[in-house]
Structure 1
Amino acid sequence: MAKPKKTPRPKAQTPKGFADYFGTDVRDRNDMLRAIGEVYHRYGFDAFESSAVETVEALGKFLPDVDRPNEGVFAWQEEDGDWLALRYDMTAPLARVYAQHRNDLPTPYRRFTMGPVWRNEKPGPGRFRQFYQCDADTVGTASMAADAEICAMLSDTLEAVGIPRGDYVIRINNRKVLNGVMEVAGLSGDDKEAERGIVLRAIDKLDRLGADGVRALLGAGRKDESGDFTEGAGLGDPQSEIIMGFMQAKRETGVETIARLRDLVQGSNIGTKGVDELEEIAGLLDAAGYGSDRVEVDPSVVRGLGYYTGPVYEAELTFEVTDDKGRPRNFGSVAGGGRYDDLVKRFTGQEVPATGVSIGVDRLLAALRATNRIGTEAPGPVVVTVMDRDRMADYQAMVAELREAGIRAEVYLGNPKNFGNQLKYADKRGSPVAIIEGGDEKERGVVQIKDLVLGAKIAETATHEEWKDRPSQFEVPRAEMLAKVREILEG
């Protein structure tokens, strides 16, 4: 009789496209989100959290190449036949929330939200299927002042988290201008929707692929280094050159760029309206003190998602970092957004103007770490060692006293037989101080306090025998434990 096959053990590995985050990563992210939230709050935006799960119908088909309900998103079908999915961004859920609660919300409604989103896309280096976003949106006003305010707030946010002026730029454009250019190039009309979508995504990849790569996507298509082929828009050379001319319309000043865009969209009403809106936003920002050193008009910004209807903007970090192969490169985009006046209309049947921005939290965090602006190791907890299992209550009383004083502390909860292992544990935790109270110390009413930071420095240059006589360990009365720990930590 054949032996039954053993069930194989599951592999202890993170799924492709996902990541695990430990103490420092989580703390740094929370600190950064707190700083961002303070700026948003100062601008009058209210905090909000929505469900991570939406109906596929509510999310809509705004991700590229979505031909079936669960392509591009993580989706599943309920027993009643409905398709549900994890949100792929924070904006589509906002449209549903506003349509559902609009009678109870102020108009305009200003909200910010933070949390993970999920995209069922091919993972790669730096490209994850789950990542954090931090959004701020204004719903219910068509005023270009709302868009200008978002750009100003984004500028203030980058500076608040540690990106100094000169290391970033907010680049703004208008999808209406691009629509005007497409009209001039003969790409308007419902029958050209597929080509327009490919053109939008191609332009959005200019920084990564360069002009030649974009030109290939405007034409027959492009094969990447892995051999994957991306189908192009199939435009002829004259049409492609019109689009490339739009992308290369940036001039020395915003005034000159706007003038060049007016020339490109001559004969297109929608294009002219887009240029007018760009000019208004630039004027409002300039009046508020956000000049070209912080915000600039750049026609190459289009944003890849399909729901934008007007102004679009992107925050780019301009300093250089080194890539995996040791080559210098600009860090690139960490945030983007724009106006999406038709999104709520899908639910209400009535146009509701809206605009907003989304910060790629993980990318911004990576930028701060790359420039040593965040990520310094925080000290671990004070560790109270255990010399006698039967006196655990005494040790717990010590950590309680430390915690009440605002000091991070814990009792060693492993096997206390080997005291050396307790100190190894404290070292692995990054503990600055260890507290020791054996039977002898208990009888004499004292505790031993080890300054582990100083001890480590001494150990680098001194023998173990020399260590014993150095002032990295102190005996103090039990009543003075808290004061001595404070003194060491503050020192």
Structure 2
Amino acid sequence: MTDASSRPEARAPRGFADRRARDLSAERTLIARVSEVYERWGFEPLETPAFEYADALGKFLPDADRPNAGVFALQDDDDQWMALRYDHTAPLARFAAENWQNLPKPFRRYAFGPVWRNEKPGPGRFREFMQCDADTVGSDRPESDAEIVAMACEGLTAAGLGEGQAVLRVADRRLFDGLFDEGGVTDAGQRLTALRAVDKYDRLGWEGVRDLLGAGRLDESGDYTRGAGLDATLICRIEGFLKAEQAGGWTDRIDRLADAGGLGAAGAAALESLERIGAAVRALGAPEGAVAFDPAVVRGLEYYTAAVFEAELLLETTDEKGRPVRFGSIGGGGRYDDLVARFTGERVPATGFSFGVSRLAAALRAAGRAPAEPRGPVVVIVFDDDGMTHGLGCAAEIRRAGIAAEVYLGRAGMKTQMKYADRRASPAAVILGGDEIAQGMATVKDLDAGRAAAAGLADNAAWKAERPGQVTVPRADLVPTLRQIIEEVSRNGAPGG
């Protein structure tokens, strides 16, 4: 044994979380459901490495002024910087550039897996999280944006969100390009700061955004954020622009912006594209109200060039104490026509959407909509070393029948073994005592039936007397008995599940 003073403290790094079966099962279920939608729409799966060269990822995250800012980076033995991917889009651009000659064009792919961001962690904000993306590379048609939007709606429905529980908001970065052009804002950094201010509109409201568009803002914690330094006239125009969302439907909002003018050639092109996206989304059968044009959507990443999308959760959610919780954005994306050109020098149009798997799973759980808790294996219980080989053979027999099973391999008595089976959420326990082994029998305890019956009996003595859900059967009948219990649970659900 090591001295206590020299032992490391058992702790997970800040911003990283351990996840057990409940969370993993929920995420895998979401990924499977959404992947089925993406493949039905003709998108193929692609997996890229967790690490990319830092120059291939680019500096698109906010405040990323050095190779290891915003990302987790290290130097390879040849002194090249590598970094963990911060999303699935930048690796796709590298893959497309590297393999473009051999790919079907347009190239349609989806991907899922963890991403990492070296940002300050906080409540519900992790440095490692799961994302699922779908992208089309090689089409400049607004209809390809519309297809991504409509497919994202279907994917969110497959994930478990019903009518009115999410909305996918659509806009176009070129609307602001037109505003800036007409307002004489030519500095790229100033434009980006202004866009990031607008991106906070849903969280800070107009007053907070106005401050960030101007001199800057002092938040409640005392931290000061420098503003974009726009003049008052342009800030006033942006206010009217953002409030166009209060107009009627998709076409009404476009007409209002067109009538207001002052958007220049870039803004006019954006409005034309948005008209075509709206028509295509309707043709693709997206549910009424599931997609909306919202000029306040700009997205925070720098690489978007035209249409942008953001999925907002409308589902009512609460925390462990029943207090309302707002999840807000659960996904987003847009058009990034310049990303592949970073490698090739030739512009390759691309568009895509990504949703946060971990975030959506947490939201569904907060709304009481999480998938059923994963069930544990059948636990085979033996009482001594002489019975162990019989227990191992019994578990193997059960597994050959396609049922998950394990032998309890600790050194404890009946009570502890039963508690273990309960904590594993096992549907049943198989008890192999000396009498059962000698007689070629097995005692099967239906744990779910036992839990339900125990909850309805007056006291522990009555529970013991009635021995709910327990039966002794010949070994030849063991598997059919277990299968009947598991099928009953599948039909009716586990008590409390």
Structure-1-length-normalised TM-score: 0.94
Aligned partner of residue 174 in structure 2, secondary structure? helix
The equivalent of 1:273 in structure 2 is: 269
The 8 Å contact of residues 174 and 310 in structure 1, kept in 2 or not, is answered as: yes
Summarize the alignment of residues 47-66 of structure 1 with structure 2, pairs less than 5 Å apart.
47-66=45-64
Change (3 A) 1:109 1:85: same
Match of 1:343 among 304, 319, 339: 339
- Partner letter of residue 472 of structure 2? E
How far did 1:450 drift? Answer: 1.3
- Partner letter of residue 260 of structure 1? R
Deviations along 1:323-378, whole A, 9 cap, x unmatched? Answer: 68865455321110000000000100100000001111111112221222223223
| Partner Cα separation in structure 2 for residue 428 and residue 326 of structure 1 | 26
How far did 1:297 drift? Answer: 0.8
- Partner letter of residue 115 of structure 2? V
- Partner letter of residue 482 of structure 1? V
The equivalent of 1:483 in structure 2 is: 480
The equivalent of 1:239 in structure 2 is: 234
The worse-fitting range, judged by mean Cα deviation, of 301-310 and 72-81 is 72-81
Match of 1:442 among 409, 425, 437: 437
- Partner letter of residue 485 of structure 1? L
| Unaligned stretches of 5+ residues in structure 2 | 489-497
Deviations along 1:158-197, whole A, 9 cap, x unmatched? Answer: 111111122111111111111111212221x2xx111111
The equivalent of 1:27 in structure 2 is: 25
The 8 Å contact of residues 181 and 246 in structure 1, kept in 2 or not, is answered as: no
Aligned partner of residue 168 in structure 2, secondary structure? strand
The 8 Å contact of residues 177 and 261 in structure 1, kept in 2 or not, is answered as: no
Change (3 A) 1:320 1:457: closer
| Partner Cα separation in structure 2 for residue 334 and residue 246 of structure 1 | 25
Q: Does 1:319 align with 2:318?
A: no
Structure-2-length-normalised TM-score: 0.93
How far did 1:465 drift? Answer: 4.0
The equivalent of 1:221 in structure 2 is: 216
The equivalent of 1:108 in structure 2 is: 106
Summarize the alignment of residues 119-134 of structure 1 with structure 2, pairs less than 5 Å apart.
119-134=117-132
The 8 Å contact of residues 74 and 85 in structure 1, kept in 2 or not, is answered as: yes
Report the RMSD for the aligned CA atoms in angstroms. 1.9
| Partner Cα separation in structure 2 for residue 174 and residue 366 of structure 1 | 29
Aligned partner of residue 414 in structure 1, secondary structure? coil
| Partner Cα separation in structure 1 for residue 46 and residue 117 of structure 2 | 22
Deviations along 1:357-411, whole A, 9 cap, x unmatched? Answer: 1111111112221222223223221110022313322212211222222222111
Change (3 A) 1:445 1:328: closer
Change (3 A) 1:230 1:323: farther
The 8 Å contact of residues 399 and 411 in structure 1, kept in 2 or not, is answered as: yes
Change (3 A) 1:427 1:168: same
Identity of aligned residues (%): 51
How far did 1:489 drift? Answer: 2.5
Aligned length: 483
How far did 1:112 drift? Answer: 0.4
| Unaligned stretches of 5+ residues in structure 1 | none
Match of 1:430 among 420, 425, 429: 425
Match of 2:469 among 469, 472, 475: 472
Deviations along 1:269-302, whole A, 9 cap, x unmatched? Answer: 1111011100111111122333641211110111
| Partner Cα separation in structure 2 for residue 361 and residue 222 of structure 1 | 32
The worse-fitting range, judged by mean Cα deviation, of 71-80 and 300-309 is 71-80
The 8 Å contact of residues 379 and 407 in structure 2, kept in 1 or not, is answered as: yes
Summarize the alignment of residues 354-393 of structure 1 with structure 2, pairs less than 5 Å apart.
354-393=350-389
| Partner Cα separation in structure 1 for residue 25 and residue 135 of structure 2 | 26
| Partner Cα separation in structure 1 for residue 44 and residue 241 of structure 2 | 38
The equivalent of 1:178 in structure 2 is: 176
- Partner letter of residue 255 of structure 1? T
Aligned partner of residue 225 in structure 1, secondary structure? coil
| Partner Cα separation in structure 1 for residue 287 and residue 421 of structure 2 | 51
The worse-fitting range, judged by mean Cα deviation, of 111-120 and 12-21 is 12-21
| Partner Cα separation in structure 2 for residue 378 and residue 81 of structure 1 | 45
Change (3 A) 1:342 1:34: same
Match of 2:151 among 147, 150, 153: 153
